Chains A and B, each alone.
Chain A
Amino acid sequence: MASEVSVQEVADAMYKMIKDAQGMKKFKAGDLTKAMRDVYGDAADRKTCKAAIKELIDSGRCVYTYFGGSFIEIPHDEGAANK
C-alpha cells in the first residue's frame, strides 16, 4: 500500500521544483504531476496533484501563464507588458 502524502506536502514540493527551475524551464501541470509520482509514487495520485496545483494557484504562490501552451510559474512581470 502506498504511503500517505498530504496535498500541502506535494504543493510545497511542486513549488520548490518550479522555483529551482525559474528562468530556465517552465512546467505544465502534467510535468509537475509526473515529477511528483516519481518522488512519492502512487501516493501522489492525480487527484492529490490536482489539489496541490489548486492550492498553489489559489494561494497566489503560483500563476498560470501562457507561452504557446499553459504553464505554472511563480508570478513575475510580463515581458510584453507596456507600463
Chain B
Amino acid sequence: MANLPNTPKLDELTKGPWPSFVSEIKRAAERSDMCKDLLGLLERSYNEKIGHWKHGGIVGVMGYGGGVIGRYTDLPEEFPNISHFHTLRINQPAGWFYTSEALRTLADIWEKHGSGLTNMHGSTGDIIFLGTRTEELEPTFADLTAAGFDLGGSGSDMRTPSACCGKARCEWACYDTMKACYDTTMRYQDELHRPMFPYKWKFKFAGCPNDCVASIARADISVIGTWRDDIKIDQAEVKNYADAGLDIFDDVVLNCPGKCMKWDGNTLEIDNDYCRHCMHCINVMPKALAPGDKRGATVLIGAKAPIIEGALLSSVVIPFIDIDEEYEEFCDIIERMQDIWSEEGKNRERVGEFIQRVGMGNFFEAAEIDLIPEMVTHPRENPYIFFEDYYEEGDEEEEEE
C-alpha cells in the first residue's frame, strides 16, 4: 500500500454508496506520485478554504492555440510532483462512442505522460487529461495523434463540437447528429486549433427537443432536431398505456404546454398546429407516440452559461432545416454570423452578449439573414423584430386612404 497523506476531510467524501473522486484519486495515488501530492494539496485547500493553483497562459503544443490549460501549484516546495499540473482537452468522438481498446490506449498514454487521472467528460464534451508537466506536453500530443486522437479547443477558438448519440442509438433523432458534429469538427479545424475569435464559440448538436447535450443553455450555436408534420400516434398503444394504469389526462394532457391534446378515454387527439414540440407526451408514451416523418433541425444562436455576464438561452435563427441534406447552407449562415461577431465583437464577448448589445434585428440584417415570424422570444408573444417594410407599406396605404 502506498504511503498516502493523512486526509481526514477528503476521506469524508469517500463515504456512502456513490462514486467518489477522492476514492479514485487514492486508487491512482498507489501508482502515481502526482496523485499523492494532489491529495495532500486538496486536503490543505479544504483546511485553509483557499485554492492553491495558478493559471498558466503560455504552455501548449507547437502550432496550436488551444487544447492545453496551464496549471501550477503555488506550493511547489511542499508538493513538488504537482508543481506543474496542466490539463489537456482531447477531442472526443462524436456521440462519445469508444471501443474498449481506444479507452485502454488513452489510459496508457496518460499513465505514461501524466497523472493518469481523467475526467470523462468535461462540460465541453472533451476527454480531459488532468495533470502533467510542460515537458510532457509534446510527447503526449505525439502519442495521441499516433493513436488517431487530436486536441480539442480552449481559449478564444471554436470549442470542440459535441453531439448526442443521435441516430446511432436513439429513435427520437430527427437528423444525424454525429455526422453533423463530425463534419463540423473537420470543416473548422483551423478555427478549432487557432484562436481567431473575440471569445469561445460552441456548437452542440441535439437530435430532438429533449436536448440531451443541453445545447439551448450552453452553445453559441444549438442545433436541435425537430419535425414539421404531425406527431405519429398509435392509438392501440395509447390504449395499452391507459390499461396499464397511466393517467393520460393528468400525466400527459394536463402537462402539455401547447394545451393541444384531447383524451376521451379511448382516443388521443393532438391539434398539431399548436404543438410546441416539447417531447413531453412522446417521452411519457414512447411506444404510442413519435416525432413525425418530416424531420430536420432548428438552429439557434447565443446561449451561454453565466461567466462574464448572466446566463442566456439561445434564440431561433433557422426554424427548420434538413441539415443532413442542406449542410452547406447551414455552414454559410453560420459563417456569415461568425464574421459579423469576429469583426465587431469585443474581447471576451460571447456572440449572445454581442447580439444583446447591437440588437437581434441589426445583427440579422448585418448577417443578411431574413427576418421571419418564427424568430420570436416566445411563440405567439412579443416579437423582438420590428418589421419595417411591413409597417411602411401599411403607412402608405393609410395615407392613400
A63 to B62, CA, bound (A): 8
Residue from B57, B63, B65, B69 within 8 A of A67 (CB atoms)? B57
Question: Across the interface, do A65 and B57 meet the contact criterion of CB distance under 8 Å?
Answer: yes
A50 to B196, CA, bound (A): 9
B252 near A: Cβ within 8 Å?
Answer: no
A49 nearest in chain B by CB position: B196
Scoring A57, A65, A70, A75 by chain B CB atoms within 10 A of each residue's CB, the highest score goes to A70
Residue A61 interfacial (CB < 8 Å): no
Q: Which of B182-216 contact A (CB under 8 A)?
A: 190, 194-199
Q: Do residues A80 and B55 form an inter-chain contact, with CB atoms below 8 A? A: yes
Which residue from B64, B342, B348 sits with its C-beta under 8 Å from A69? Answer: B348
Q: A51-75: contact bitstring with B at CB < 8 Å (1 yes, 0 no)?
A: 0011001101001111111100001
Q: Determine the distance from Cα of A81 to Cα of B73 in the docked complex, in whole angstroms.
A: 9
A-B contact count (CB 8 A): 84
B59, CB-defined interface residue at 8 Å = yes
CA–CA, A53 and B196, complex, Å = 10
B226-257 vs A, CB cutoff 8 Å, 1 = contact: the mask equals: 00000000000000000000000000000000
A66 engages B57 (CB within 8 Å): yes
Taking a contact as CB atoms under 8 Å apart, the answer to whether A80 and B54 are in contact is yes
**Residues of B in contact, count (CB < 8 Å):** 35
> Are A28 and B134 also in contact (CB < 8 A) when A57-B194, A70-B65 are?
no
Distance A30 CA – B65 CA, assembled complex (angstroms): 14
B76 touches A70 (CB 8 A): no
Inter-chain contact B347/A69, CB cutoff 8 Å? yes
Given the interface contacts A29-B196, A63-B60, A70-B157, does A57 sit within 8 Å of B76 by beta carbon? no
Q: How large is the interface on A (under 10, 10 to 19, 20 to 34, 35 or more residues)?
A: 20 to 34
Q: Does B70 contact A (CB under 8 A)?
A: yes
Pick from B57, B58, B342: contact of A30, CB under 8 Å = B342
Specify which of A53, A69, A80 is in contact with B56 (CB 8 Å cutoff): A80
Contacts of B76 in A (CB 8 A): 82
Docked CA distance A53–B154 (Å): 18
CB-nearest residue of chain B to A76: B58
Pair A65/B198 contact, Cβ less than 8 Å: no
B196 near A81: Cβ-Cβ < 8 Å: no
Mask: chain A, 20-53; 1 = CB below 8 Å from B; 0 = not: 0000000011100000000000000000001001
B332 to chain A, nearest CB (A): 16
Name the 3 nearest CB pairs between A and B, nearest first. Answer: A64-B65, A70-B195, A70-B155
25 contacts between A and B (CB under 8 A): A28-B195, A29-B197, A30-B196, A30-B342, A50-B190, A50-B196, A57-B194, A63-B60, A64-B195, A65-B57, A65-B58, A66-B57, A66-B58, A66-B154, A68-B348, A69-B199, A69-B347, A76-B58, A78-B59, A78-B70, A80-B54, A80-B72, A81-B59, A81-B84, A82-B76
